[in-house]
Structure 1
Amino acid sequence: MSSRTPSPARRPQGRPNAGRIASHLAVMGAVAVVMGVLIACLAIPFAGLVGVAAKDVSKGMVNLPESLEAKDLSQKTRIYDVNGNLIASLYDQNRINVPLTSISRPMVKSIVAIEDYRFYDHGALDLKGTLRAFVTNQANGGSVQGGSSITQQMVKQTLLYQAESDEERKAATEETYARKIRELRYAIAFEKNHSKDWILERYLNIAYFGDGAFGVQAAAKHFFSKNASKLNLLESATLAGLVKNPVGYDPIDNPDRAESRRNVVLDRLAQLGVVTEKKAERLKGVPLEETLKVTDAANGCQQSQAPFFCDYVRNYLLKDPVLGDTPKERLRTLNNGGLKIYTTIDLDMQKAADQSVAAHVYQTDQAIGGLAMVEPGTGDVRALAQSRPMGQDKAAGETAINYTVPKKYGAANGFQAGSTFKVFVLATAINQGIPLSTTINSPQEMHIDDEEFENCDGPYAGDGMGWDVKNSTGFGSYDLYSGTQNSVNTFFAQLEVETGMCEPLQLAKDMGVKVPLAQKVPSWILGVSDSNPLEMAQAYATFAARGLHCDPRPVTKVLDSQNQPLKEYSTQCEQVMPGATADAVNDILRGVMEPGGFGQNLAIDKPSAGKTGTTTSGRSVWFVGYTPAISAAAMIAGADAQGQWLELGGQSVGGQIIYEASGSGYAGPIWGDAMAAISAKLPSEDFQAPPGDEIAGVLTLVPEVTGQSVEAATAAIENAGFTVVDGGQVNSEVGEGLVASTSPVAGTSLSSGDTVTIYTSTGYVPPPPKGNGGKGKGKGGGRGNR
């Protein structure tokens, strides 16, 4: 045996050489130095080592803060529908924080067993583990690895998570004793200021478990499709094994290594007496693949059940200062704040809208179809659908633009809305007391001089050419019923002469439709201004709500990561016309849906009303219709993949060639099919009949209550037959707590039961801004409403 050549794995027996002696002495010296630093320079709360305390501070640690601020961990934001169903998640890191009490005991035992089994017995530093790792590292060439307690690991993860620069990220991961000492300094502070349970909870929430899952709750959901509170021993051992090397032990990409690592954890649990060896062996025999139930965590609006509604909600909130002072801060809060966003979308209505739009306009057509649904009386947005799906592949018909909402929320300019604008003149005429039976002779075409139209400050001063207007739907004598139901252009041009331009334009604005200054010309009533389905749906919802206009509301409330209210989004509604006026409009527009009307083939089994719209160029067609419970606007516009507008005539849309574009023929069926699909969930409520031919004769004036107490003002308004709503506080010179104003203002004619909003005074008027001498272009300043 003595003549045998020694194995490379074994050293020859005999006296150690001088090199080995020097190496061991160096290790022992280094251990002594480190222990001297640790014991003499740091306040280490070793359990059982009474009397060990710090008397001096190491020079290398003088510049370090005494403690590390543990900032809140990023969490994914979740968006819910009107019934509380999850429709989308937004996140930079897939994480859902959970308290330690919501993590199963097997998971807690597994992570402690494999990462730091004496966690609850030692302080910030595991002396045994550190010395063992130190000696091992020296013997292996001076590497700096292992030996870290869970507290130290949590510190490292926190430093890495909170790093804001490449330099800070490098410092958080470098393999040096300087980093170890820094981590220990902070670990000591955490142990001093927090309980062991707090530290373990943060560790389990900050740790990365691989495949995009941050924190144990996200990992449990991703790998096992269950909450962390429901993890069993086998699943817990799997997850506990991942934190050492989340990529190398990834159960999806490296199942064999993941299973082997899981079994190491089970062996450790048996060694510590947490489970019996027999049970550990039995569990080790279960194939990893039989335990996995992988669920990918959707991220962003594109993977949502309602991509464009989700996108609308996202952009809506990004403009709200409650999420932050700057767009960057608001985006960070939205993606990392762990918010719970409760919205107004109804998935039944969304499904009906999606299916109808997709059936009538294909995604690769040279056209865009869209539909929006809004609830009258609240403004709640129930559905948004468009024919081009969300994505970047233009060749496949995808787009990142939301064509169903205003530009500030979706980046699209909108589309000319055609004759759907005529209702603003119709409602104004009724409000002015023009009888519904008023007959106007309406020729096929006619010329009207500019000065015939009255503007807000006198006769309209156009280019002197006047307006040459002609019909596409016939000619003859029409009253307000037949002129509207047949959408006669020359009838409405002459009706606009009677009403003037000022009041109809103001009513359109009050109903949420803004006409640009350059387009405030007599022909605006033919819909020459760009609009979008959401804007038109909420405008027509005003008629359904008997003159109560409500701003579109996609969100009802937002909760923070602690489930505390961040903001409640109340309805924003104002009475913009008498209920009797809206009743008359409803009575006229329901005729569109009856036999002989343009929308007779679109009628559903509930009372409904509507209006068609077709642009002169034939580039877009519309149908806006409503019941007392829901208002919906459907639109089709010609457009190529690059967004260049095209005429619809000659295009193949939804599998059929359009020879003559019309709102009732093409946009109308989108509305009709979607509404038919949801009609069963709509109430059988009917419109209220108008009081008579002379609508203005049944109106009552809003009383003057400014300066009164809220109680007295409420009584006066209710005695006049109106409904009172609290509008909150406004700055005013009126005494604090007294009524500052009402909307509509005193003297406005309304119908019985209409809504009057009371605003109470703060008793304070802020001083004007300094530096402009009070001459800025605030409200009422600038060029005015010309």
Structure 2
Amino acid sequence: MSSRTPSPARSPQGRPNAGRIASHLAVMAAVAVVMGVLIACLAIPFAGLVGVAAKDVSKGMVNLPESLEAKDLSQKTRIYDVNGNLIASLYDQNRINVPLTSISRPMVKAIVAIEDYRFYDHGALDLKGTLRAFITNQANGGSVQGGSSITQQMVKQTLLYQAETDEERKAATEETYARKIRELRYAIAFEKNHSKDWILERYLNIAYFGDGAFGVQAAAKHFFSKNASKLNLLESATLAGLVKNPVGYDPVDNPERAESRRNVVLDRMAQLGILTEKKADRLKNTPIGDTLKVTSSPNGCQQSQAPFFCDYVVSWLLKDPVLGDTMKERRRTLNNGGLTIRTTIDLDMQKAADQAVSAHVFPTDQAIGGLAMVEPGTGDVRALAQSRPMGKDKAAGQTYLNYVVPKKYGDANGFQAGSTFKVFVLASAINQGIPLSTTISSPEQMNIPDEDFENCDGPYAGDGKGWTVSNSTGSGTFDLYSGTQNSVNTFFAQLEEQTGMCEPLQLAKDMGVKVPLAQKVPSWILGVSDSNPLELAQAYATFAARGLHCDPRPVTEVLDSQGQALKDFSSQCEQVMPGATADAVNDILRGVMEPGGFGQNIAIDKPSAGKTGTNQNNMSVWFAGYTPKIATVAMVAGANQLGEWVSLNGQYVGGSPIYEAFGSTVAGPIWGDAMSAISAKLPYEDFQAPAGDEIAGVLTSVPDVTGQSVEAATSTLEAAGFTVADGGQVNSDLEQGLVASTSPAAGIQLSSGDTVTLYTSTGYVPPPPSNDGGKGKGKGKGKGGGKGRG
């Protein structure tokens, strides 16, 4: 930023003092000298200058501000993944500011040679250069050399850059005497307040080099795929030649004109002794096409490797006041602030998510597929994918709606999440001490009176008709394991009777799932509320993190254009349930992934747990699954190209017909493919077994305590949640008093609270019986000498 020169004090009569008068007279003198040569820069009749009175010139100079504030130049914002890979850029102008020390010397010499070779020798106005330009231009019958100094050109581009209205933009570019006077006045101020290097640096960063590249760094990247610090003579001469006419000399669209202009720059550098004529001639023989290595600079999320994650990041940051007080200010900061945004996305996981979704749901299907991955314990969002690409071509299935994030970030309402909501009642039941072994007779259909359900204010007051609930999975008697594994509706309806509605609804809210007031009815546990994959993924990640809920976090840090931290975004986490409760939920949900569970066919080679979800009329289906390291939710929802919700039944999705949609068969394979693809990245980690002494009814294998003391064995069994009974002694070759065996035997699964009987050793094993069953084989004689039998 430039510093302003303080205004001189005025006389009591309001007239400028002597110092200021002298300053203006000096400027007027300079103007008077160049009046005769301004024709070189202005294509206007000399007679037009004659009619301008000297006092008008003086008045115009006096009324101008003494200096022009050089506002920071806009720079593109860059968004990076968790490993530092660039995933998107945002900008109104493709510019990356660099210091003069980061621009190659050949580039500096080339631009000075062709635009203002005496730049370091003259002040704001180069009288010699202006005269030379006038004479040369007249001799050649056209414009060959410019008359404006680099400082004047920088002033013009600064005025144009900082113009906010059409009138200001017109004033910055019009070919008039007044504009030249204004530029000269500001150029004098810049020369006074700043060094030559500062002016040249700003000029090289503000100049337009064509094809959307503003500034030398963006131009070097675009045309040669390298940094400005690495530009060689040929490349430097090419770029230096562009600033005069970036469109006409564009090396991609007009290679012949660009090469000719490049050669003019090389000749000028040879004329000035910067390089020899021989070297210049050799360089001029190089076709310009051989030097180019054009790289596009994608702008915006649509061209990103992860468009909907990028869109989520932008929407998320636009709500943060650190970027500005208003939405307009925040958007300007994002697009022009040169920010560095470090995010949580993992491109390997994103690739797996994209491939899994696109393989199972096509863009033009009458369905939308989506998937979200969230890291437990941090809330870091690792991947977001959906089947409909970002864009405006509806016929191709494109959309700008982000279906995988909450409405406030993506504008889509979401979809009913089905039985994935049952886990909130399950966790509440465990937290309230209901044993996991509790059995409930669950018919295929039943009606439960409204008043049987308690909300936070007492009995639920419905319409008096009660809740008629039915199963699609048959009937029977189930405990918390089997009832969840089979997702039995009538089982969970009766479990909700026991827990009440208040605690499960609060737990859902604490885990990031908000149920609207109008939907806080007993049937809410069947997922009648709209949700989205990201919302559910961060909820299920809470179980994986043993009850620690973390808000989804797409960004970890934002740096300003100078590389200084603008804001660090730490994980926002809170323990919302005891770790033991989460352990028990994990123990139950891992049964869904085991033989007999709905997820057995998509299980991966790491310990995992999951829950299916299917809503009424099969309008949407879900699979929410997780390991201790990652939580992933896949969804498929019926939706035609008009945005109307339809049933998935009878649709062709991913090239295959769906006769009846279920979470395990339609959404589950998406989850399975994505998780299988990233499984190798996940460290092997098992869930922590629920503590039987904290959770009633935990199914736990009886530990092997054989050979332990009674005290040690009792401690081990009680720690596993069992009640210990004394079964007395049994013969055993173990030391007397040590545990010889248990009943049930080691390895048998029991519910916590069940009794395990200890049998201790006598320390004695009777000798085996004789082989003849006790009959004597020897012969003896009786007292009377008669024969006797032994």
Give your verdict on TM over 0.5. Answer: yes
Once the two structures are TM-superposed, the CA of residue 694 in structure 1 deviates from its matched residue by 5.2
Alignment check: 8 A CA contact 1:151 1:187 kept: yes
Q: Aligned residue for 1:351?
A: 351
Q: Does 1:596 align with 2:596?
A: yes
Output the CA distance in 1 between the equivalents of 2:111 and 2:141. 29
1:455-474 pair list within 5 angstroms = 455-474=455-474
Which residue does 2:258 correspond to in 1? Answer: 258
1:56 is displaced (CA, Å) by 13
Show the 5 A alignment for 1:664-743.
664-692=664-692, 695=695
Question: In 2, distance between residues paired with 1:258 and 1:137?
Answer: 20
Aligned equivalents of 2:181, 2:127: Cα separation in 1: 14
SS in 1 for 2:312: helix
Name the residue aligned to 2:305.
305
SS in 1 for 2:664: helix
Q: Which runs of 5+ in 2 are unaligned?
A: 1-25, 36-54, 699-790
Partner letter of residue 425 of structure 2? V
Cα distance in 2 for partners of 1:597, 1:693 equals 27
SS state at 1:611 partner: strand
Aligned counterpart, 1:131 = 131
What is the alpha-carbon distance in structure 2 between the residues aligned to residue 492 and residue 626 of structure 1? 22
Distance 1:144 1:297 in 2: 32
Q: Distance in 2 between matches of 1:550 and 1:639?
A: 31
Give me the whole-angstrom Cα distance separating, in 1, the residues matched to 2:696 and 2:105.
Answer: 73
Task: Provide closer, same or farther for how the CA distance between residues 325 and 390 of structure 1 changes in structure 2, counting only shifts above 3 A.
Answer: same
Letter in 2 for 1:362: F
The aligned runs of 1:7-156 (5 Å cut-off) are 37-38=31-32, 58-133=58-133, 146-156=146-156
The 5 Å alignment of 1:600-639 reads: 600-639=600-639
| Cα displacement (A) at 1:63 | 1.8
**AA of the residue aligned to 2:279:** K
Q: Is the 8 A contact 2:27 2:185 kept in 1?
A: no
Q: Structure 1 residues 149 and 590 mapped into 2: Cα distance closer, same or farther (>3 Å)?
A: same
RMSD, aligned CA: 2.2
Q: For residues 138 and 680 of structure 1, do their structure 2 counterparts lie closer, same or farther at Cα, with a shift above 3 Å needed?
A: closer
Which residue matches 2:229? 229
Distance in 2, matches of 1:696 and 1:325, equals 52
Structure-2 residue corresponding to 1:207: 207
SS at match of 1:632: strand
Structure 1, residues 347-385: CA drift from partner, whole Å, max 9, x if none?
A: 000000000001111111110000000000000000000
Aligned to 1:318: 318
Return the letter of the residue paired with 2:523: S
Residues 142, 216 of structure 1: CA spacing in aligned structure 2 closer, same or farther, 3 A cutoff?
closer
Aligned partner of 1:549 in structure 2 is 549
Shift of 1:492: 0.4
Deviations 1:679-725 (A, max 9, x none): 00101000000001752799xxxxxxxxxxxxxxxxxxxxxxxxxxx
Distance in 2 between the 1:324 and 1:35 partners? 46
**Aligned pair 1:277/2:277, yes or no?**
yes
The residue aligned with 2:439 is: 439
Counterpart in 2 of 1:768? none
State the secondary structure of the residue aligned to 2:617: coil
**Equivalent runs, 1:568-579 vs 2, <5 Å:** 568-579=568-579
Distance 1:270 1:134, change over 3 A: closer
Measure, in 2, the Cα distance between the counterparts of 1:625 and 1:211: 47
TM-aligned CA deviation for residue 240 of structure 1: 0.1
2:384 alignment partner AA: L
- Aligned: 1:248 with 2:244: no
Cα distance in structure 2, aligned partners of 1:529 and 1:318: 27
Matched, 1:180 2:180: yes
How far off its partner does 1:37 sit? 3.5
Is the 8 Å Cα contact of residues 623 and 671 (structure 2) preserved in structure 1?
yes
* Letter of the 1:389 counterpart: P
Q: Deviations over 1:746-772 (max 9, x none)?
A: xxxxxxxxxxxxxxxxxxxxxxxxxxx
Q: Supply the distance in 1 between the matched residues of 2:170 and 2:136 (Cα, whole angstroms).
A: 24
Bigger shift: residues 222-231 or 138-147:
138-147
Identity of aligned residues (%): 86
SS in 2 for 1:121: coil
Measure how far apart 1:137 and its partner are.
8.2
Contact 2:455-2:502 at 8 Å conserved across structures: yes
> SS of the residue aligned with 1:293?
coil
CA distance in structure 2 between the partners assigned to 1:329 and 1:490 by the alignment: 53
Larger Rg: 2
Q: Work out whether residues 435 and 693 of structure 1, in 8 Å CA contact, stay in contact via their aligned partners in 2.
A: no
Judged with a 3 Å threshold, the aligned counterparts in structure 2 of structure 1 residues 127 and 375 are, in CA distance, closer, same or farther, namely same
Partner of 1:767: none
> Alpha carbons of 1:291 and 1:36: their partners in 2 closer, same or farther (altered >3 Å)?
closer
* Equivalent in the alignment of 1:511: 511
The offset of 1:147, in angstroms, is 1.0
Inter-partner Cα distance in structure 2 for 1:36 and 1:673: 76
* In structure 1, C-alpha distance between the alignment counterparts of 2:242 and 2:143, rounded to whole Å: 22
Q: Secondary structure at the match of 2:462?
A: coil
Q: 1:562 aligns to what?
A: 562
Residues 583 and 356 of structure 1: is their aligned pair in 2 closer, same or farther, counting only changes over 3 Å? same
Assess, with a 3 A threshold, how the Cα gap between structure 1 residues 215 and 308 changes in structure 2: closer, same or farther.
same
Equivalent pair of 2:31/2:181 in contact (CA under 8 Å) = no
Matched, 1:287 2:287: yes
Shift, 1:35, TM fit: 5.1
1:449 equivalenced with 2:449 (yes/no): yes
C-alpha deviation, 1:62, in angstroms: 1.9
Q: Which residue is equivalent to 2:751?
A: none
**Equivalent residue for 1:475?**
475
Query: Which residue number corresponds to residue 398 of structure 1?
Result: 398
Asked whether the 8 Å contact 2:424–2:508 carries over to 1, the reply is: yes
Q: CA deviation at 1:144?
A: 14
**Is there any run of 5+ residues in structure 1 with no aligned partner, and where?**
1-31, 42-54, 699-786
Question: TM-score scaled to structure 2, two decimals?
Answer: 0.81
Amino acid at match of 1:383: A
The one-letter code of the counterpart of 1:678 is: I
Structure-2 separation of matches of 1:33 and 1:342 = 50
Q: Does the residue aligned with 2:616 lie in a helix, a strand or coil?
A: coil
Query: Do 1:79 and 1:340's aligned partners in 2 also have CA atoms closer than 8 Å?
Result: yes
Q: How does 1:728-767 map to 2 (within 5 A)?
A: none
| CA displacement, residues 79-109 of structure 1 (integer Å, 9 cap, x when unaligned) | 0000000011011100000000000000000
Preserved CA contact (<8 Å) 2:114 2:268: yes
Please state how far the C-alpha of 1:61 moved relative to its aligned partner: 1.5
Q: Deviations over 1:20-65 (max 9, x none)?
A: xxxxxxxxxxxx9985645799xxxxxxxxxxxxx99921112211
Q: Give 1:496's aligned residue.
A: 496
Residues 187/33 of structure 1: CA separation in 2 closer, same or farther (3 Å cut): closer
TM-score w.r.t. length of structure 1? 0.81
Q: Which residue is 2:713 aligned to?
A: none
Amino acid at match of 2:444: Q
Distance 1:220 1:59 in 2: 44
- What is the distance in 2 between the residues matched to 1:584 and 1:495? 16
Match of 2:714 in 1: none
Report the alpha carbon displacement of residue 134 of structure 1 after superposing the two structures with TM. Answer: 5.7
Q: Aligned-pair distance for 1:131?
A: 3.4
Aligned twin of 1:728: none
Secondary structure in structure 2 of the residue aligned to 1:645: coil
d(CA) in 2 for partners of 1:488 and 1:124? Answer: 84
* AA in 2 matched with 1:281: D
Quote the residue 1:26 is aligned against.
none
Q: CA deviation at 1:146?
A: 3.4
Q: What secondary structure does 2:648 align onto?
A: coil
* Aligned residues of 1:144 and 1:176 also touching (Cα < 8 A): no
| d(CA) in 2 for partners of 1:125, 1:608 | 74
User: Are the structure 2 counterparts of residues 664 and 36 from structure 1 closer, same or farther at C-alpha, using a change threshold of 3 Å?
Assistant: closer
Q: Distance in 2 between matches of 1:505 and 1:522?
A: 10
Name the residue aligned to 1:647. Answer: 647
In structure 2, give the amino acid aligned to 1:529. S
Cα offset, 1:478, TM superposition: 0.7
Partner of 2:166: 166
The 8 Å contact of residues 76 and 91 in structure 1, kept in 2 or not, is answered as: yes
Q: What's 2:330 paired with? A: 330
Deviations 1:569-609 (A, max 9, x none): 00000000000000000000000000000000011000000
